[in-house]
């Protein structure tokens, strides 16, 4: 039985951005303006200025940019490459800053109260037990709530309560579950939940063991990671996790994917994101491998690669490819790769 609960995201400038106008060249115009119609020159100066897009400029790559005035456009075009680079950096930072500003209305105590209320409500629906989907093992665990141990706060990303649960029949068999919370309007919402530690029998005792791979929010060394022009591995992982969580919310808790080789529609249960994250030397795209289990099975695991671009300064999932597939051999399923990576073609993202 699947318990369905709603679970709810500078710039690599294209090569050859340097302007070269020719009298007869008419670039293709983008359907939507970059930066959501915000003034590109304003962003380059660190300002967020909304426009009606009556003053625009189309880049040689066909991207449409808006300006608050003709003077702003003229200032931008004096050095479009530098100004665009600054605008994309500031736009990316503004996204995290907006979440960070919204977080100022909440405290760790608010996050604790929210998750306790959520757990109580879900437990009341399920006979006093809170259902946790164990994606690794392919089953739903009915657990008894113990306590919220602590709440991590990552500015610009959200709150992360770490919660203790116990097996419904054996209180010594304990779990730690992480919840990812983020402001939405004047409330908090759950983006995702992951089993962080699970019980393992050693002798006559149960001990908690950390699941691998760990959720990305355990990677930042500081609870206030700040802002950086250089994207870090955990930031890429957070974008992948956000994408997966959004797709699961739309599809009843599972991730749906069309196999890029066979065309088969696959329903998957998300397990975790591998480290390290990599970046291609050729085009600057990021990519990371992830673990999924085929929904409805116990032992069919896929390795799925996510490729991410920095469009308008925001990291977003672009291409999704099946890297390894489960193949039955001697009564067991093993993962068989469809392609290999050349280590010379990418850099590791710390």
Q: Name the band, by pLDDT with cuts 50, 70 and 90, for residue 27.
A: very low
pLDDT at 173: 97
pLDDT tens readout for residues 252-276: 999 999 998 999 999 999 999 999 9
pLDDT at 47: 87
Residue 17 has pLDDT above 50, yes or no: no
- What's the whole-model pTM score? 0.73
Residue 296 CB-density burial (10 A; 0-12 exposed, 13-18 middle, 19+ buried): exposed
Residues 6+ apart with CB under 8 A from 210: 196, 197
Q: Name the band, by pLDDT with cuts 50, 70 and 90, for residue 311.
A: low
Residue 166 has pLDDT above 50, yes or no: yes
The residue with greater pLDDT, 48 or 181, is: 181
In this structure, the strands spanning 139-154 and 158-167 are antiparallel
Q: What is the mean pLDDT of residues 184-188?
A: 90
pLDDT at 13: 32
Element (H, E) at 139: strand 139-154
Annotated domain spans of the chain: 34-103, 108-218, 233-349
């Amino acid at each position: 039985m699947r318990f369905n609960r709603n679970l709810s995201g500078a710039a690599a400038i294209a090569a050859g951005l340097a302007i070269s106008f020719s009298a007869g060249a008419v670039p293709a115009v983008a359907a939507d303006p970059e930066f959501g119609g915000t003034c590109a020159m304003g962003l380059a100066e660190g300002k967020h200025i909304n426009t009606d897009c009556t003053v625009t400029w189309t880049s040689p790559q066909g991207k449409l940019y808006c300006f608050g005035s003709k003077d702003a456009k003229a200032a931008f075009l004096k050095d479009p490459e530098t100004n665009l680079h600054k605008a994309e950096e500031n736009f990316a930072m503004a996204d995290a800053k907006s979440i960070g500003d919204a977080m100022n209305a909440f405290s760790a105590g608010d996050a604790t109260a929210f998750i306790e209320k959520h757990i109580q409500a879900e437990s009341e629906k399920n006979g006093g037990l809170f259902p946790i989907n164990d994606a690794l093992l392919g089953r739903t665990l009915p657990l008894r709530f113990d306590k919220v141990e602590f709440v991590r706060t990552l500015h610009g990303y959200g709150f992360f309560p770490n919660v203790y649960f116990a097996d419904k029949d054996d209180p010594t068999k304990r779990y730690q579950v992480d919840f990812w919370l983020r402001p939405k309007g004047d409330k908090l919402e759950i983006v995702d939940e992951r089993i962080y530690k699970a019980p393992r029998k050693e002798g006559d005792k149960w001990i908690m063991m950390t699941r691998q791979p760990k959720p990305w929010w355990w990677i930042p060394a500081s609870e206030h990671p700040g802002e950086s022009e250089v994207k870090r591995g955990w930031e890429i992982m957070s974008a992948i996790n956000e994408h997966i969580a959004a797709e699961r919310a739309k599809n009843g808790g599972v991730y749906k994917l069309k196999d890029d080789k066979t065309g088969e529609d696959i329903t998957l249960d998300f397990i975790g994101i591998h480290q390290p994250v990599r970046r291609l030397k050729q085009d600057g795209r990021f990519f990371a491998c992830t673990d999924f289990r085929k929904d409805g099975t116990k032992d069919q695991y896929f390795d799925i690669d996510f490729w991410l671009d920095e469009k308008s300064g925001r990291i977003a999932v672009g291409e999704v490819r099946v890297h390894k597939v489960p193949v039955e051999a001697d009564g067991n399923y093993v993962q068989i790769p469809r392609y290999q990576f050349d280590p010379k073609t990418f850099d590791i993202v710390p």
